[in-house]
Structure 1
Amino acid sequence: MEIDLILPELHEAQQYIVDNALRFNALRCGRRFGKSDLAKDLLIETALDHSMSAAYFNATYKLMAQFWDEFNDMIEPIRTDKDEQQKTIWLLGGGRIDFWSLQDKNAGRGRKYKRVIVDEAAMADDLETAWTQCIRPTLTDFKGDAFFMSTPKGRQNYFYKLCQNGGMKPGWKEFHYKTVANPYIDPAEVLDAKNDLDLLTFQQEYEAEFVELAGNLYFKIKEAVNLKTGTVFDPKQPVYVSMDFNKVNSVTIRQKQNGALVYLEEIHQGGDEEDLEAICKQLATRFGRYLIMFTGDASGNSASAYTTGNKSAWSLIKGYMAKYGANFCDYMAVPLSNPSTASSRFICNSLIKHYGAKLIIDRDKCPILASDVVRMKTASDGGLDKPDCDKYDYGHIGDCFRYDLVNFEYTTFKEISKTAW
């Protein structure tokens, strides 16, 4: 029986890694280099060509599940069985591949593998413990090999240490490739990204350099945003509301007027259920006759022990808006999960640059927002500097701004940048 299996063809840099790998390998590469295709090739080589067991690990369940779906579609002609719940597949010849999320602290424990792939290694919360206590012992029986793959995320993580092993420990090798090493990526797209990003972010995400990303979260804001006074509500345009839930509930209210994003007002008060109702009553009273588009903090989807009936914040909001007569509310842009700081930083700054003077913040009616977009900063690993925000109690309105741009303006972002994250 003839089997029609279409595998990704490795480009020159990927093939070099396969041909020159040692037992333990750390690959730091720019985004869109093609590490996922390389991982697929390495897994199939072990499970199909050698009929051995292999494992794929990723930093989060969501990322692992995405790879699982793509891989299963690709190898369907040679797959003999799969366990959707346990995330295991079996191939012709008896080879087996397990898929794990490193959010499971016991991922891989008790198994035996000939090869393991650790994807997005720099994003893993405690890679050192996962490697030394769970993953490394799985390679003992078969004297298996390991590939750690990731775009760097600062120097304060175990992936950085593993990359240093490449020049210091026997059996270890480091590979370093920029995004442009992938011949299928248009160099003009990379150049566009360089123009959109600050230097350090570009060096990390596209040149795979270990840099310290501490700095302003919205680094394009000073050269682009238009701080003005006297903005006016346009009754002909929808109202865009973005909400953040914390010890103080925060809200930004904006419209799109003549192609400009106009931040008209902000609300920053209270934090309990009664206060949330008061905010909704205020929104419904003022804007209930118009179309109101909602987005904001995905954590508001979770049930809360501090509310009547353990209802989620978003469930309460829907009820309150209806109670006070706002019948034209759209909640399609309420996310199921919040964007990572790295992704939202790129998206927001691309949009800030795109809109330029047409991104307007009324500094009299949005004084906290005007302050937050300048104050909010990233830590050395590129994540939001939450300790500083918590210490000085700022950033909640700035988060509303971030959710607003990422969730309402993502289509615009895709139009101005084809660079995928």
Structure 2
Amino acid sequence: MSSDLYVPRDHQARIEAGLARFSVLVCHRRFGKTVLSVNRLISRARRTRRSDWRGAYIAPLYRQAKTVVWDELKRYCGLGRDDCTVKFNETELRADFENGARIRLFGANNPDSLRGMYLDGVVFDEVAQMPLRVWTEVIRPALSDRRGWALFIGTPRGKNALWEIWEKAQADPDWFAAMYRASETGIIPQEELAASGREMSPEEYEQEFECSFTAAIRGAYFGQLLADADREGRITGVPHDPSMPVHTARDLGMSDSTAIWFVQARPGGTFAVIDYYEASGEGLDHYAKVLDRKGYKYGTHVAPHDIRVRELGTGKSRMEVARSLGIRFDIAANIPIQDGINAVRTILPRCWFDRERCAPGIEALRHYRRSFNDRTANFSTRPVHDWTSHAADGFRYFAVGFRPPAPGARAARTANDFDPFGRDHGRQRA
């Protein structure tokens, strides 16, 4: 055990006995998964023979890690006890053990900030609120040379990263996968469950207490429209048509992520959404190279209005930097966010999405939502800003800023009229 402060309940002890190198626990609310996982990290840190052992606890947002986990970590390490030898760094949210081991808390909202480290053990909390690439691109490689372990815990919020990991784990004999529904564990008294069921919508209850991956996402803007697209077969394999131009729309960020959608306007007023790309911490030259590597024949490039804002460090706007790279943007109108969301709702029924290449963007659109104010019992008028925002904003700029070519215009420019960086040799743009 990590300390005499932690006495696992029967179900926690059974879980600890069954955990594998990679494990996923899909749990109902108030199951005790955070306490279990914090103490797994502490136990491994205390018992390791490595003086450079490193553990990480990753929450969707850094402030969530600080609010939910930091006090629990200090408590179970024995803060305030005479025999506590662990030192705590409040600035870095880090616990340093006497044997050289360390546990540190992180947020998944800036995945690239996690690159470059090595890890021996990691806990992902509330995986449903994270982009999958935090695991596949960033953390999984960090565990490789150390043969490190990973524990994923969370409650469903639709078919997202938690669902994908859950599906994989069930099919892989090297993983431990378990689901714990409130109706089966007996942790929450039946009368309390019944009261919760009366106060919550059926979808909310199924999601929070019965671990349903298919229950509706509370406050989602586009969830039903994407469910319709799935049911109608519009989320499928959508091939690129090389005879037609590919238009792009993007949300621009530096420290935050930049998201780019690749869309072809097809006959009949439909849109083939053929590709999606997202990264963070990169300059415009990086995205110019991405466009080059894709090899598409480009048409319109849509950007948000704030591309005209001058950077304090250089005195140049990103629009000017883009022009120096040969990229010219059409600027989306600066309209209220709600009007842009309505514009997305208008075009989504006419969109076909490539299931594989657009998967991260589709999931972001599916989970883009309003926050719920528990104090007023109302939804906010503005969307939640999280990992879904960049993809949703980029698609919103397409809905607002893209205009089909005028009747009689060429369907696509010839090789003399364009190059893969989006350089425009004929049309006047911003």
Tell me the TM-score normalized by structure 1.
Answer: 0.49
Tell me the TM-score normalized by structure 2.
Answer: 0.48
Higher helix proportion, which one?
A: 1
